[in-house]
Amino acid sequence: MTLETMPLSKALNSGLRRAMEDDSKVLLMGEDIGKLGGVFRVTEHLQRDFGDKRVLDTPLAESGIVGTAIGLAMTGFRPVIEIQFDGFVFPAFDQITTQLAKLTNRHEGKLSLPIVIRIPYGGHIGAVEHHQESPEAYFAHTPGLRVVSPSTPNDAYWMIQEAIASNDPVIFMEPKSRYWQKGEVELDASAAPLHSSRVVRTGSDVTLVGHGAMVTTLLQAAALAEAEGTSCEVVDVRSLSPVDYEPILSSVRKTGRMVYAQEAQGFVSVGSEIAATVMERAFYALEAPVLRVSGYDTPFPPAKLEGTYLPDADRILEAVDRSLAY
């Protein structure tokens, strides 16, 4: 097995490179992704190595970028779009939810749209408005879109390749606060299925569930809880639509308790849906209600207040204590 330690951003770069080497129909599009290599340098050197016909710098027009990608996909290409920041996706929202998500259904399955839309999302980077949002629920709510989010470099490397290979449109949510977090990447291993959840830490008292950047925070909370005598199992959801429920339900049936944590607002969220489904499908195994820890139901605050707004290990541990108190 070939292992290489790299940050999540480099793992994405390597995954994109491998996908482009394997299929000449894969091309990249986005603002400043060519010579600059993207704001977060995820596409660094790819234009140099593959040329400006396959790594395209686009105008600042997200709706036009997605519309162009739809046309390219109709003619056999596999476009990978970069939305520079999470809050900038909304000018393209109509193209994504009204056109991209529905065209395959309109054509009764005869038309495939293999498009990946990469969206850096979430907080913890001290940025201004429209640069730290978590809009994943909008896309998970939309039939016709697949939505995934890696939490580790290894997942980033393999999941971006699987997303590109998919014949359905994939919203690829990248936890930007973890771009610089390093981890081992198995370069010659077989990938886990794209739409699968995974237990990343075993435990017996409480199940902690989350996605993206929050998985690292959950692992921190689990380590702190263990020091206080509480054993927490951690499940990384990985795929937000569709959701692989079996690892989550199996864990809850073992522990009898569950806490879901996310950076996004709690109302009508991915965490809300997963909590409701667990309540329905594992009700008799639960010894306490499923609890949720989330960002507050307000617009994302100025950078100096992000530490108060975003869930941390302490807020998760508070929920664990409440769950154990039932």
Predicted confidence (pLDDT) per residue in 26-49, tens digit: 999 999 999 999 999 999 999 999
Q: Of 186, 182, 103, 184, give the one whose Cα is nearest residue 145.
A: 103
> Look-up: residue for tokens 């959840």?
197
Asked if residue 7 lies in contact with residue 153, where contact means CB atoms within 8 angstroms, the answer is yes
| DSSP single-letter state for residue 249 | H
Using alpha carbons only, give the angle 266, 127, 296 rounded to the nearest 5 degrees. Answer: 15
Catalytic pick from 107, 124, 131, 211? 131
Residues of the chain with CATH 3.40.50.970: 3-186
CA dist., res. 254 & res. 206, Å (int): 9
> Is residue 210 classed as helix, strand or coil in its secondary structure?
strand
Beta-sheet strands, E only, within 63-222: 78-82, 116-121, 146-148, 170-175, 182-186, 198-201, 206-210
In terms of C-beta density within 10 A (0-12 exposed, 13-18 middle, 19 or more buried), how is residue 109 classed?
Answer: exposed
Dihedral sign from CA coordinates of 185, 181, 43, 264: positive
Q: Greater confidence, 188 or 254?
A: 254
Residues of the chain with CATH 3.40.50.920: 198-325
pLDDT for 232-288, tens place per residue?
A: 999 999 999 999 999 999 999 999 999 999 999 999 999 999 999 999 999 999 999
Q: Which CATH superfamily is domain 3-186 in?
A: Thiamin diphosphate (ThDP)-binding fold, Pyr/PP domains (3.40.50.970)
- Catalytic annotation present for 107: no
CA dist., res. 19 & res. 228, Å (int): 45
Q: Of 42, 32, 51, 56, give the one whose Cα is nearest residue 10.
A: 42
CA dist., res. 225 & res. 239, Å (int): 26
Does residue 1 carry a pLDDT above 80? no
| DSSP single-letter state for residue 178 | G
Tell me the pTM: 0.96
Q: Please tell me the predicted confidence (pLDDT) of residue 2.
A: 87
CATH of domain 198-325: 3.40.50.920
Q: Of 98, 74, 96, 73, give the one whose Cα is nearest residue 83.
A: 96
